[in-house]
Each structure stands twice: as structure tokens, then as C-alpha cells.
Structure 1
Amino acid sequence: MDGNKSFPSDFTLVGLFTHGKASGVIFSVICVIFFMAMMANGVMIFLIHVDVHLHTPMYFLLSHLSFIDMMYISTIVPKMLTDYLAGKKTISFAACTAQYFLYMGFVGAEFFLLGLMAYDRYVAICNP
């Protein structure tokens, strides 16, 4: 009557890397795009930090937007790529929850920052 009451604690990942021949190409494309995005955002932060003329509120907010984009990207993509290389097709409930929490946190931060940037431009135009 009590039977087996075990519940799976992992989610099965399906979809992106299920194609046999194309999965290597998809992996390479995603890896290249990931590293290009990380480098572009890193260069943006570095240039804004180094150049004194760019120490204005607009560029300050842009550098923070680049940082949030770096965190936003690195929340899911590295785990996805390492799981593909390791051959794992599952993710634990705790890891899925952590990724979801971080992803949604960075989405909220990005929306807040974009609203702040819009207000900054409004103030700069209407009250010079």
C-alpha cells in the first residue's frame, strides 16, 4: 500500500542539442556568440572606466548596463555548454531554481536600469 514514493529531482533538457550533426555547429556558434558578447561588454566597461571624458551619468549607466548584460548572459549559457560537453541531459531542481532566480533578478535589474536611463535622458533634454 505504501509503494514507491520516490520523486525525480531532475529536469530533462530537450531541444537545443538534440540534432546529431548540427549540434556541434550549434555549440560552436553559441560559444562564439557568448565569448564575443562577454568581450564586447568587457571592452565597453573598460573604455568607460579609462576615459575621463566618459565619466558622465549616461556612460556610468551604460557601463552598469554592460555589467548586467554580462551577468545576464553568464547565468545560463556556461552551464548549458558544460552540460552539453559532459553529455548530461538533466538539471537538478536546485540548479534550475538558482538559474531562474538569477535570470529573473538580472532581468529586473536591467529593466530598472533602462527606466533610470530613460529618466536621465528626460532630465538632460527637458532641464539642461
Structure 2
Amino acid sequence: MHKSFLVWAALLGALAVVLGAFGAHKLKELVPPETVSTFQTGVTYQFYHVFALLAVGILYAHIPAPQLVWAGRFFLFGILLFSGSLYVLTLLKATETVGLRGIGAITPIGGLLFIAGWVSLLLGILKK
């Protein structure tokens, strides 16, 4: 299981670099500054949790606790829901799409998954 978390961390890390570069160079031509800030928040939290996934993958090789598996899952789905929803909100703003603004309600769920991931990581470490 730990190898899949490491693979996801590598893929999502590369994606975060691409999205960060896009946000820093091109996005400000397409959306207002507050929307660039929203996008950057998604990139930042994606990066933080890529490192968390790396930690889970490495730790699981030494402490194969089920709590670590859950931590990795929570971090993955947290990235998808938290950062992903911020990226979608930015896309909606850039394309002036209406009707899907409620997608922002997903962001806090992703945040809760991040918290659950950190708590699971702690429990997995303490179990040993």
C-alpha cells in the first residue's frame, strides 16, 4: 500500500508544480486577483498534502498500521475535494459559467478530510 501513496504523491506533486506555474504566469490574465488567490490556496494545500502522502508512504513501510492507510486515503480525497473544488471555482470564474457556484460547499469537506488524515497519521504513529 505504501508504494501507491508514493506514486500518488509524485504525480500530484508534479501536477502542483504545473498548476502553480500556470497560476503564477497565465491565470492573472484570465481572472481577478482574488480568484488567483483562491487558485493559489488550492495549489498550496495540494503541495502540503503531497508531502503528507510521502510521509505516509515512507512510514507505512516501517509501521504498517491501518491508521496510516486511512491517513493516506484521507489526504488523497482531501486534495481532490479541497484543492479540486478551488480549481473548479477558478475555472468557473475564468469561463464566466453560472449555475455551479455551489461547488464551493465541497471545499470544507476536503478540509475535514485533511484534518482526519492528520489525526489518522498521529494515531498510526502512536499505535506503534
- Normalized against structure 1, the TM-score is what? 0.45
- Normalized against structure 2, the TM-score is what? 0.45
Greater Cα radius of gyration, structure 1 or 2? 1
